[in-house]
Amino acid sequence: MTIRNKAYIVGAYEHPTRKAPDKSTAQLHAECARGALADAGLTKADVDGYFCAGDAPGMGPLSMVEYMNLKVRHVDATDIGGSSYLMLVSHAAQAIAAGKCSVALITLAGRPRSEPPRAGNPYQPDAAWEQPYGIATLNSYAMCAMRHMHEYGTTSEQLAWIKVAASHHAQHNPHAMLREVVTVEEVLASPMVADPLHRMDCCVVSDGGGALVVVSPEIARSLKRPLVAVRGAGEAVKDTNGGRVDLTYSAARVSGPIAFAEAGVTPADIQYASIYDSFTITVLMQIEDLGFCEKGAGGKFVADGNLISGVGKLPFNTDGGGLCNNHPANRGGITKVIEAVRQLRHEAHPAVQVPNCSLALAHGTGGLLGTRHGGATLILERQ
């Protein structure tokens, strides 16, 4: 069974807030749900499937289905960190194809700026071997960058180009946290936070959220929105492999080819890419692993504005991405899908809209790149 053309994204909503001290997390989820349903032209009563991940408060679907008073016949709360929401689009498509639901609602929201997230679970089996050392998101990704530089000669200047490209896009997004265009020199002059990553190699921390509505082909055709089909999807988990550690690649190496095979397209066919950008190194490794260039050539690929819309070959994260726009709940997966949908609907900002965009990729990396993470790839098509 394939999910190709079995489901369509008809609703997409990114919450405009970037700091929400006066809201609850459940409330943000519901505001996002309301926004995505309105975008689709559907109502709460139409929803018969609900999908969420680890950012949902309480017991995930139990708490949120009750809060929103949904009447659903299918739920899924698989958590692979920030990449969950790309995977949940795929799971929603699978459920729709199997007849388990026909209108799937996916929500993400969180308030890490207003309220620091709770500490990890001490019963997770890796905890004793990592937490005493002060492992954090930042230094985990930094060690990947350090090894990538060692093996492939990747430079800080090349990584900086990724931030520069994101900033060029963010200047056109009134909701972006960081709208100022920056230069390679400015990125390199920002403080070293964890060698070899500078402050500007890191994404923003933001409150906020987003939601998606995925429906059956019949319902999609009954609505007024452009048809954005889920053409292919892949998911994978990458970890420390029993101590045979290789920090130079990501789960995209597995999830990407699965998605491309299902979609029947190649990286050269992709007109726009949303690439998870928790850090600049995340983008570079995913671009290689998804096959946009040879392994190890990511540094050369991203340099000289190659990711800037209208300038380079692979326009990416035209909303400004996690690096400049938004990284709600410390999980950027849903905003990756939302901007891909905007591009395919030709509703991105005119300054960054890819002309005649009809085939887009969105990829997420969730968890820690340098320990264990999930990867999820979506290939979306305007029909």
Partner 1 sequence: MSETKTRKIPAPAITAETEAFWKGAAEGRFQLRRCTQCHETHWYPRAICPFCMGDTAWEDASGEGTIYSWTVMRRAPEPYAMAYVTLDAGPTMLADLVDVDLDGIAIGQRVKLVWSQSAGGPPVPSFTSA
Asked if 282 is part of the footprint of partner 1 (rule: CB under 8 A), the reply reads: no
Element (DSSP H or E) covering residue 105? strand 103-110
Cβ at position 305, least distance to partner 1 in Å = 28
Cβ at position 320, least distance to partner 1 in Å = 22
Per-residue binding letters, 220-249, with partner 1 (x by CB under 8 A): --------------------xxxxxx-x--
Interface pick for partner 1 out of 88, 143, 251, 314 (rule CB under 8 A) = 143
Cβ at position 370, least distance to partner 1 in Å = 8
Cβ at position 246, least distance to partner 1 in Å = 9
Tokens of 136: 């954090």
Rounded Cα distance, 232 and 270, in Å: 12
Rounded Cα distance, 59 and 79, in Å: 12
Cβ at position 198, least distance to partner 1 in Å = 10
Which among 52-60, 137-145, 171-179, 324-332 is the span making contact with partner 1, rule CB under 8 A? 137-145
- The answer to whether the beta carbons of residues 227 and 382 sit under 8 Å apart is yes
147 sits in the region (left: phi over 0; alpha: psi -120 to 50; else beta) called alpha
Rounded Cα distance, 230 and 5, in Å: 6
Interface pick for partner 1 out of 24, 27, 63, 139 (rule CB under 8 A) = 139
143, 149, 238, 290 from 248: Cα distances, Å: 10, 9, 11, 13
Cβ at position 128, least distance to partner 1 in Å = 4
- Strand segments (E) across 165-319: 192-194, 197-198, 208-215, 228-238, 272-275
20, 80, 287 from 108: Cα distances, Å: 14, 13, 25
99 or 125: CB nearest partner 1: 125
- The answer to whether the beta carbons of residues 214 and 92 sit under 8 Å apart is yes
Q: Are strands 359-367 and 373-382 parallel, antiparallel or unpaired?
A: antiparallel
138 or 258: CB nearest partner 1: 138
Cβ at position 141, least distance to partner 1 in Å = 9
4 or 148: CB nearest partner 1: 148
Number of residues that bind partner 1 (CB under 8 A): 39
121 or 356: CB nearest partner 1: 121
113 or 336: CB nearest partner 1: 113
Cβ at position 129, least distance to partner 1 in Å = 4
Cβ at position 191, least distance to partner 1 in Å = 7
Residue corresponding to tokens 């020199």: 185
- Strand segments (E) across 165-276: 192-194, 197-198, 208-215, 228-238, 272-275
- Strand segments (E) across 152-198: 192-194, 197-198
Per-residue binding letters, 172-211, with partner 1 (x by CB under 8 A): -------------------xxxxxxx-x------------
Interface pick for partner 1 out of 371, 374, 381, 382 (rule CB under 8 A) = 371
26 or 144: CB nearest partner 1: 144
User: Site residues for partner 1, window 77-136 (CB under 8 A)?
Assistant: 122-123, 125-136
Interface pick for partner 1 out of 12, 142, 220, 341 (rule CB under 8 A) = 142
234 or 298: CB nearest partner 1: 298
Helix axes 60-68, 25-40, angle to 10 degrees: 70
Helix axes 280-289, 252-263, angle to 10 degrees: 50
Tokens of 56: 């949902």
151 or 294: CB nearest partner 1: 151
128 or 268: CB nearest partner 1: 128
- The answer to whether the beta carbons of residues 319 and 198 sit under 8 Å apart is no
Site residues, partner 1 (CB under 8 A): 122-123, 125-136, 138-139, 142-144, 146-147, 150, 191-197, 199, 240-245, 247, 370-371
